[in-house]
């Protein structure tokens, strides 16, 4: 395999591993703040127990996020030197602001949040919790500004092949940023909602009857049930925005080869890039036209529009985008059914009355958010191919001149480490759940024991 392909796989592996953990910490930070404030308010022990349980998950996820994030920042230089050389004048300040306004804030106050409870006044500990949550959200903001700019560049000018910033306001609020940020923050919230619901269900299944478990289940289910409709609406708006700015991506998502009206919404198909058609199509007639154009006869751009006269294909690989998109939406629909079903059961019968199969279903969905989030990113990112920065820089132009053997060796090393750590992470989370609920030390005031 050549350096380009290997570097792409390596980048994809690293970012896929990285994104798993921020997805958890971004929303979990706010959830912890909520638990802490509820405890400050009510003085009820269960809120503190919830805090103490989830702060461990938070600390672990945070460490995983930090170390994999450091790998990310080195990747630009080691594998993609052309990226910074071409768009560094825009990407640089955005990354710099992320480090300055987010990373230090999180890192320093995380120490106080985890270990400082017995050393600082309660209000300062609550403030530290807030600042950590705020910091994770800020880092999501800056990195998504950059990522969105790479999809829908704006506010820049090209001089001698190098990008210069012309209008920072336009760069930051580029056309896809609001949609992507909203969709990602909701994705983070959903991931955490299902993780909390899933682990609480798991503890219930194992006969753990601590008060915090029932509260955790109720909290997770309600959070999921509230966020998922919002996510579906946000996703739909995101898609319409993409249709406007990256029509080739939407054509690949829909598996639509020809520009035409009455495009069906495909539920299943095997896109064939050679014959340039789908096999085994199964779809709802005209539905894609309705979704994208709000009109059954609406004309939707097709992939064949993105083939140059000499036959060069200018659209992304179809099958990968098509299927990633279906996985994400599929999980989204499943989330809707499960969270609303569970909410209904809890409402009618109370937490104790939720039948075992439903608890098993929730447990199985513990990491569903990860699946949807990754699938969503694959849709977006693969859908941008062959561009790295849409219309400005192709992936091929950015890759570094390194021996492919070296990239292959390090790739194998990373994959091994990631696989081992992922297994350890999931294993430890369930281990914590199994022994959860045993905080014997009395909790007196908003000051607490160190959360380790």
Q: What is the contact mask toward another protein in residues 14 to 53, using x (rule: CB under 8 A)?
A: ----------------------------------------
Could you tell me the sign of the dihedral formed by the alpha carbons of 177, 10, 192, 448, in that order?
Answer: negative
Judged on CB neighbours under 10 Å (0-12, 13-18, 19+), 342 is buried
313 binding partner (options ligand HEM, ligand HDD, another protein, none; Cβ < 5 to 8 Å by kind) = none
| Binding status of residue 385 toward ligand HEM by CB under 6 A | no
The three-state secondary structure class of 108 is: helix
Q: Quick one: 39 or 103, whose CB is closer to another protein? A: 103
Interface region with another protein, contact rule CB under 8 A, candidates 65-73, 311-319, 330-338, 375-383: 65-73
DSSP 351-410: GGGS-HHHHHHHHHTTTHHHHHHHHHHHHHHHTTTTEEETTTEEHHHH-----HHHHHHH
Which residue, 127 or 334, is less far from another protein as judged by CB? Answer: 127
Residue 230 CB neighbours (<10 A): 14
Which of 109, 202, 325, 377: binder of ligand HDD (CB under 6 A)?
A: 377
Q: Is 24 a binder of ligand HDD (CB under 6 A)?
A: no
Q: Which stretch binds ligand HDD (CB under 6 A): 58-66, 119-127, 139-147, 304-312?
A: 139-147
Binds ligand HDD (CB under 6 A): choice among 39, 62, 378, 418: 378
d(C-alpha 126, C-alpha 103), whole Å? 19
Which residues, numbered 147-176, are part of the site for ligand HDD (CB under 6 A)?
A: 147, 150
CB neighbour burial string for 114-137, b if at least 16 within 10 angstroms, e if fewer: bebbeebeeeebbbbbbbbbbbbb
Q: Is 1 an interacting residue with respect to another protein (CB under 8 A)?
A: no
Under the binding rule (CB under 8 A), the answer on residue 107 touching another protein is: yes
Q: Which is nearer to another protein, 79 or 241 (by Cβ)? A: 79
Site string for ligand HEM, 103-122 (x = CB under 6 A): x--xx---------------
Which residue, judged by CB position, is nearest to ligand HDD in the bound state? 377
Output the smallest distance, CB 447 to ligand HEM, in A: 25
In the complex, the smallest distance separating the C-beta of residue 246 from ligand HDD, rounded to whole angstroms, is 14
Choices 32-40, 175-183, 214-222, 432-440 (CB under 8 A): range interacting with another protein:
432-440
With residues binned 3-state (H G I as helix, E B as strand, rest as coil), the percentages for the chain, rounded to 5, are 70, 5, 20
Please, what is the minimum distance in Å from the beta carbon of residue 186 to ligand HEM?
7
Q: Check residue 81 for interaction with another protein (CB under 8 A).
A: yes
Q: Measured between alpha carbons, how far is residue 264 from residues 131, 245, 269, 299 in Å?
A: 47, 22, 12, 11
DSSP count for the chain of H helices, then E strands: 15, 6
Q: Which of 281, 238, 241, 235 is nearest to 257 (CA)?
A: 281
Altogether, the residues listed in the chain come to a count of: 452
Reduce the DSSP state of residue 451 to 3 states and report it. Answer: coil
33/382 with CB nearer ligand HDD: 382
Identify whether the C-beta of residue 64 lies closer than 8 Å to the C-beta of residue 424.
Answer: no
User: Binding residues for another protein, per CB under 8 A?
Assistant: 56, 59-60, 62-64, 66-71, 73-74, 76-78, 81-82, 84-85, 88-93, 95-97, 99-101, 103-112, 114-116, 119-120, 162, 164-165, 168, 400-402, 406, 410, 413-414, 417, 421, 424, 428, 431-432, 438-439, 449-450, 452
């Amino acid at each position: 395999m050549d350096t380009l392909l290997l570097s792409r796989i390596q980048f994809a592996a690293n970012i896929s591993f990285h994104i798993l953990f921020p997805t958890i910490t971004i929303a979990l930070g706010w959830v912890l703040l909520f638990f802490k404030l509820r405890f400050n308010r009510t003085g009820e022990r269960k809120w503190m127990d919830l805090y103490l349980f989830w702060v461990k998950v938070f600390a672990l996820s945070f460490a995983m996020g930090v170390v994999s994030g450091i790998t990310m920042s080195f990747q630009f230089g080691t594998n993609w030197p052309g990226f910074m050389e071409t768009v560094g004048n825009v990407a640089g300040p955005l990354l710099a602001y992320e480090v300055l306004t987010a990373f230090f804030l999180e890192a320093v106050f995380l120490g106080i949040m985890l270990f400082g409870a017995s050393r600082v006044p309660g209000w300062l500990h609550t403030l530290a919790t807030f600042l950590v949550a705020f910091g994770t959200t800020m880092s999501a903001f800056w990195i998504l500004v950059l990522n969105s700019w790479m999809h829908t560049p704006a506010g820049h000018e090209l001089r001698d092949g190098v990008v210069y910033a012309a209008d920072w306001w336009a760069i930051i609020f580029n056309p896809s940023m609001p949609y992507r940020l909203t969709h990602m923050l909701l994705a983070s919230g959903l991931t955490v909602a299902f993780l909390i619901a899933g682990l609480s269900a798991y503890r219930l299944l194992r006969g753990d009857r601590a008060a915090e478990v029932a509260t955790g289940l109720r909290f997770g289910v309600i959070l999921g049930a509230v966020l998922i409709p919002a996510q579906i609406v946000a996703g739909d708006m995101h898609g319409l925005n993409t249709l406007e700015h990256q029509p080739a991506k939407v054509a690949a998502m829909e598996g639509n080869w020809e520009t035409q009206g009455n495009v069906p919404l495909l539920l299943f198909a095997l896109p064939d890039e050679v014959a340039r058609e789908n096999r085994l199509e199964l779809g709802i007639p005209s539905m894609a036209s309705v979704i994208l154009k709000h009109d059954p006869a609406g004309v939707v751009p097709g992939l064949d529009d993105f083939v140059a006269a000499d036959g060069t294909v200018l659209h992304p690989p179809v099958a990968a985008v098509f299927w990633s998109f279906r996985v994400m939406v599929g999980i989204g629909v499943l989330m809707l059914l499960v969270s609303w079903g569970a909410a209904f059961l809890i409402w009618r019968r109370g937490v104790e009355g939720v039948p075992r199969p439903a608890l098993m279903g929730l447990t199985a969905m513990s990491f569903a958010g990860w699946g949807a989030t990754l699938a969503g990113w694959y849709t977006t990112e693969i859908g941008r191919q062959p561009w790295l920065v849409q219309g400005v820089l192709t992936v091929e132009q950015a890759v570094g001149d390194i021996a492919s053997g070296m990239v292959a060796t390090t790739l194998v090393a990373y994959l091994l480490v990631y696989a081992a750590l992922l297994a350890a992470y999931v294993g430890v989370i369930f281990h914590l759940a199994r022994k959860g609920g045993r905080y014997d030390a009395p909790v007196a005031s908003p000051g607490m024991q160190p959360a380790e």
